[in-house]
Structure 1
Amino acid sequence: MDFTEIYKQTGGLVAFSPGGHFILTAVQDRVVVRRADSFQITRTWQLAESGADASAKAASSPAPTITHAGWSCDSEYVLAACAKRGVVEVFKLRDENFNARVDCGAEGLVKAEWTPDGRSILCFSEWGLRVTAWSLLTGTATHIQYPIHPDRGYAWSINGRYFVLGERHKSKDTLGVYDTHQSYRLVRHFPLPSASLASISLSPLGNHVAVWEGPLEFKIYILTLAGDLLGTFSPEPDRGLGIRCVTWHPSGSYLLVAGWDDKIYVLESVTWGPVAILELNSRIPAGVNIWREPSNWIEATQGHGFLTYERIRPPWSLTITRPELAKAYPKCGPVQLSFNVSGTLLLARFESTPSVIHLFDFPSALDPASQARTPMPALRSVLIHTQPVLSAQWNTVRKGALVACCGGESAYLWSDEWVGVSEDGEQEEEADSEMAECIGVPAKSFNAREVKWAPDGKGLVLLSKETFCCAFEVEDGAAPEE
């Protein structure tokens, strides 16, 4: 991989444009847009100052910084918001003079983001008062009252047509379904069986919605968008620590639910009962690929080049940290559950083993009535690192590529798409083509805390606390012009 120079950023607000040709960066109160092929600056904007900001500046107070930034779906517009000032500004990439501004006023601002059509901005006010959709086309605003959570508990249908929001009316949980094509007209509004809604998750096909209780009860409900209750799941016994992770399979046929007990429950979409339970075990059995990060490899390579993980023969025992269950939110349970783009691999990270990544083979069909004939999810690979894993992401295009970082001057790649060369010079996939590599970042004092893939799956963004750099596959050359 070829690494770029180190650039400044604020709040981890670095994002490729949807087409992958530009990269946006927030630096204090400025927005910087660079070309992804040359990293030359294309546009810069600064948030306009209000009267209060000018007074604060005169008093030598630090200027408020950008807290939210992002691209519209077609890369035409850029959003930049400052929650402290309650202001959102919109800029147009191809029109330097264009500017739109939203002043949230006394209601405040917690979060601002683009709607799926890229022509409206969704703003969540403080104290859960309301959600406002501001249209760039008409200049009008549509208000939705009383969201349960000001920064979560909502979802969009896959085509962006419907906006689903968890609301609280008369001290009861309700769900509202709004038609975005008709100025957020209310389509459905029905009560929820939950007593204290934690959040919601819409299935990939948009026909089912999962809602679950707060931290006092492990219970999840699956409903249709018409309000019909299809199923309820609560494990036995329920330790009363609530649900921590919920993830849909890309096909929408399975729902994965995990709490604080180091177990992952796989629910199928017919009865919404558990068809499999994946549990964290200290002993890794035979047949599992075990990869371990080499010790002191950064010093040995001076942060340059690639180095393969050490391959360990199973069985092997992991060190599991036993949590103090008497404390609130003990350090246990899955902190991340995510599928690759094809749904054939599942990544799981447990807080009890913070430096370990578990990869499970996930079959396309699970049948609880014929478990002897139908393959079940099984542990495939384990990646062991010297430091806790802070971020891990599947490739956005390739189904068998994973990147992770652990807060050091390095990144880690795992792939099962390696191709060998036969004796006659033709490429052929190897039976055991899995590979794990350590990649040094050629920069001093750069601690990668978060990693993101480019939309085309050929580049990476590595973020430290206040800086970032990018890495691209050398053989693919520069990105084409937009």
Structure 2
Amino acid sequence: MDFTQIYKHSLVSFSFGGQFILTALQDRLVVRRTDSLQIIATWLLEAPTTSKSPLHISHIGWSCDSEYLFAACTSLGFIDVFKLKEESWKARIEAGAEGLVKAEWAPDGRTLICTSEWGVSLVFISILLSQLRITLWSLVTGTATHIQYPVHSDSAYAFRADGRYFALAERHRSKDTLGVYDALHGYSMVRHFPLPTSNLGSLSLSPTGNYLAVSEGPLEFRLHIVTLAGSVVSSFSPDVDPGFGVRCVAWHPTGSLLAVAGRDNKVHILDNLSWTSVATLTLSSKLASDTATVLNCVFLQIVWREPADWLVATEGRGFLSYEKTSGARTIPIPRVDMSKGTPKSGAVQLEWSKSGAFLLVRFESTPTVAHIYDFPVPDQPLTPRLRSVLIHTQPITNARWNPESDRIALCCGGQSIYIWSNEWVNEDGTAEDMAECVGIPAEKFDCRELKWSPVGKGLLLMSKDMFCCAFDVEEEEV
């Protein structure tokens, strides 16, 4: 891989086509070309005249066609919208007395979703009540649509894949409900119905838009499958109650499978026919590099280990393959006392690859380890198998699948990234897994987060206040 220079930032985002990079630094926005990092536009935000607080950009984002971009300052309660090809064009949205918690684009690229929160003080009993409100601001009509009482500010709403319908979990009269709104007609309400939850934890819409996975709160492991018409199709809970709620949910790209995990170091795989668990993936301390044959197909389980002191050996400017371990290997799994507060266990990340052939699982109990499970093609029996285990010397801080291939990038802090892929082709034409450690040729760069380009041709690598780009040498542009 090749790397660009390092630049300062507080926030960074690729445009949807991957041609531009938007960065924010305190009160300034900068747009750069991805291929050359040349600056093509810049804006300086201005604080309201009545404010004496410093201006610090908290959220940024691109519209789906990369024509518009926004910068939000939640502490001062405003959003500025800019047009890339017309730097003098500007629109400002002011949240008002209710404040601003979060801002993002709707799928149409012409509507901004703003979450506000305000408190009501009840003097006689000295209680402060916080309430949320969603506001959808249209750049086309200049009007706002307000929706009261959403359950959460981040994990309780979703758009259908085509952007037509907006599903929002709400709470009315102490009961969980779901509102379905038509985004094509000014977010008018289509239907409103009660949810089977008593204290909603999360909401996730299937890729096909047919089903919603709705989980209970943190104290009960129960997942409900609900249609957008309001029918409860099924409810799932494991045979043995782990004592805590659902922690992660991930839909297969086709919507045919649903991965569900709590805090008991197990991942349940549900299918969309029975909505029951057809497979259970369990974290095990015992690993072994071996080969197995199932239905005439060869499956490899490879345990990869990061080489010791490899950055010193390469001087941080090269790449080195992981070490393949032979025979049995044990990874330590701390014993968790489930009776003492919220346990540090269970899956912290479930993420399918683009093809749906692989599932990445990271467990909080083993922060330095990434598990990659192999799923058979649709016409074969569902027998997922642990394909690869990546063991690192430091805890993994971020891991992401390439949006266009079965290739994963990870970072663990420090001056390196890690790449796993099943796309390596040998001289005899056979495919083989590959896992590499890649040094970042920069001094004092602590890579804590990474993002793939939307077209999968490059990576943004980010520390707390710096970033650079990485791309394959054979590619002419990111």
1:14-53 maps to which residues of 2 (within 5 A)?
Answer: 14-53=12-51
Q: What is the alpha-carbon distance in structure 1 between the residues aligned to residue 397 and residue 211 of structure 2?
A: 31
Give the one of 318, 322, 325 matched to 1:309: 322
Question: Who is 1:405 aligned against?
Answer: 411
Q: Which amino acid aligns with 1:187?
A: V
Q: Which residue of 2 aligns with 1:119?
A: 110
Residue 436 of structure 1 corresponds to: 435
Counterpart of 2:369? Answer: 356
Q: Secondary structure at the match of 2:404?
A: coil
Aligned residue in 1 for 2:136: 133
Look up the SS of the partner of 1:181 in the other structure. helix
Structure 1, residues 65-90: CA drift from partner, whole Å, max 9, x if none? 11110100000001110111110110
Structure 2 CA distance for aligned equivalents of residues 239 and 417 of structure 1? 38
Residue identity matched to 1:3: F
Deviation (angstroms), 1:150: 2.1
Is 1:416–2:397 an aligned residue pair?
no
Identity, % of aligned positions:
55
- Between the aligned partners of 1:218 and 1:201, the Cα distance in structure 2 is 16
Q: 1: CA distance between counterparts of 2:61 and 2:381?
A: 43
Q: Secondary structure at the match of 1:237?
A: coil
> What do the CA deviations read for 1:23-77 (whole angstroms, capped 9, x no partner)?
0111111111001111111111122221233x34xxxxxx231111010000000
Q: Deviations over 1:280-306 (max 9, x none)?
A: 001114331011000001111110011
Corresponding residue number in structure 2 for 1:391:
398
Residue 94 of structure 2 corresponds to residue 103 of structure 1: yes
Asked whether the 8 Å contact 1:128–1:149 carries over to 2, the reply is: no
State the number of aligned residues.
Answer: 456
Q: CA deviation at 1:421?
A: 2.8
Match of 2:455 in 1: 456
Q: 1:216 aligns with which of 219, 223, 228?
A: 219
> How big is each residue's C-alpha offset from its partner over 1:245-277, in whole Å with a ceiling of 9 and x where there is no partner?
001111101111100000000111112111010
1:264 and 2:267 matched: yes
Unaligned runs of 5+ in 1: 57-62, 367-372, 423-427
> Which stretch has the larger CA shift, 232-241 or 109-118?
232-241
Q: What is the TM-score normalised by the length of structure 2?
A: 0.93
The amino acid that maps onto 1:301 is T
What is the CA–CA distance in structure 2 between the aligned matches of 1:365 and 1:436, rounded to whole Å?
Answer: 27
Instruction: Find the aligned partners of 2:397 and 2:269 in 1 and give their Cα distance.
Output: 25
**Contact 1:73/1:116 (CA < 8 Å) preserved in 2?**
yes
Q: 1:170 aligns with which of 164, 173, 179?
A: 173
The aligned amino acid for 2:277 is: P
Kindly state the Cα deviation for residue 178 of structure 1 after the two structures are TM-superposed. Answer: 0.2
Task: Give me the whole-angstrom Cα distance separating, in 2, the residues matched to 1:381 and 1:478.
Answer: 30
Specify the code of the residue in structure 2 equivalent to 1:442: P
Offset at residue 375 of structure 1 (A): 4.4
Partners of 1:202 and 1:478 in 2: CA distance:
34
1:150 is the counterpart of 2:149: no
Indicate the residue corresponding to 1:60 in structure 2: none
Match of 1:59 in 2: none
- Contact 1:213/1:242 (8 A) holds in 2: yes
**Is the partner of 2:426 in helix, strand or coil?**
strand
- Please report how far the alpha carbon of residue 236 of structure 1 lies from its aligned counterpart in structure 2 after TM superposition: 2.1
- Hey, what's the Cα distance between the residues in 2 that align with 1:100 and 1:23? 21
**What is aligned with 2:386?**
379
Larger strand percent:
2
Which whole-Å CA distance do the structure 2 matches of 1:328 and 1:72 have between them? 42
Distance in 2 (alpha carbons) for counterparts of 1:324 and 1:147: 34
Q: Greater CA deviation, 238-247 or 386-395?
A: 238-247
Are 1:128 and 1:150, in contact at CA under 8 Å, matched by a contact in 2?
Answer: no
Query: Alignment partner of 1:300: what SS?
Result: helix
Report the CA distance between 1:326 and its aligned residue.
Answer: 2.8
Equivalent residue number for residue 473 of structure 1: 472
State the SS of the aligned residue for 2:474: helix
Matched with 2:296 is none
Give the Cα–Cα distance (whole angstroms) in 1 for the partners of residues 24 and 302 of structure 2.
40
Are 1:276 and 2:279 counterparts? yes
The answer (yes or no) to whether the contact 2:458–2:469 under 8 Å persists in 1 is yes
**TM-score between the two structures when normalised by the length of structure 1:** 0.93
Aligned to 1:290: 303
Structure 1 partner of 2:122: none
Find the aligned partners of 2:439 and 2:337 in 1 and give their Cα distance: 36
- 1:240 maps to what in 2? 243
CA distance in 1, matches of 2:99, 2:382: 52
Once the two structures are TM-superposed, the CA of residue 324 in structure 1 deviates from its matched residue by 3.2
Matched, 1:94 2:85: yes
**Contact conserved, 2:75 with 2:100, CA < 8 A, in 1?**
yes
State the Cα distance separating 1:315 from its structure 2 match. 2.0
Most deviating of 469-478 and 336-345: 469-478
Residues 290, 314 of structure 1: 8 Å contact kept: no
